[in-house]
Each structure stands twice: as structure tokens, then as C-alpha cells.
Amino acid sequence: NKDYHNFIKKLILDNIEKGDETIFIGSPDKNRISKDFIEDINKELKAKGKKGELRLSNSYLPMKGGIIIGSGTIRKNISLELLLKNVREESEMHMSKILFN
């Protein structure tokens, strides 16, 4: 659980713009990612001079893990499904180059 928290924290810190976005999670994470967890990240953001006003959405999205960061009408998808899809595509391209070049 600590490793997952560190992973999610890094995703958030690496992908927020202002520090006042909404964090969306999937229902499998509702017992792992809490408002207290987000508040700890907000404290860290404030210490770094950012807003530190992240909010955890009350609604859950249909995803297995990871996060979606929302600001206004913009959503940044950092779900585990998308991350794994990107890794798979990169691996397939790399393997194709090795096999066919």
C-alpha cells in the first residue's frame, strides 16, 4: 500500500499544473486514496510554493487504478490502463525494430 501511495503521489506531483485541480480515482482505490492523503500532498505543494488546494472528487470513475487530474473542462488521464497501454505500445515498437530491422 505504501508503494502504491508513493506511486500515486509521484503521478500527482509530476502532472499537476497549479495545485488546485480535482483528483479523480476509480472505485477500487476508494479505500486506498483518502482526503487525508490528498491533504498531505497539499502541504507538500504549499511548502514548494504552489497553491496546495487539490481536491479529491466524491465520484468514482470506471478505472482499475491510477488517477485522472481535472481542471475546469480539461482532464489529464493517468489511469493504470492508459499507462500500461503506453508501455505495451512502446514495447511492441521496440520489439518490431529488433525483429524486422
pLDDT digits (tens, 9 = 90+) for 56-100: 999 999 888 889 999 988 888 888 777 777 777 788 788 888 888
**pTM for the full model?**
0.79
pLDDT digits (tens, 9 = 90+) for 11-58: 999 999 899 999 999 999 999 999 999 999 999 999 989 999 999 999
What is the spatial distance between Cα 100 and Cα 22, in angstroms, rounded to a whole number? 44
Please give the tally of structural domains in the chain.
1
Q: At what angle do helices 2-15 and 35-47 cross, to 10 degrees?
A: 50
pLDDT of the residue at 32 = 92
Q: Phi-psi region for residue 49, left (φ > 0), alpha (ψ -120 to 50) or beta?
A: left
Three cell numbers written together for 75:
482532464
Q: What is the CATH number of the domain that holds 20?
A: 3.30.2320.30
Domain that residue 91 falls in? 2-100
Number of Cα atoms under 13 Å in the Cβ half of residue 14: 9
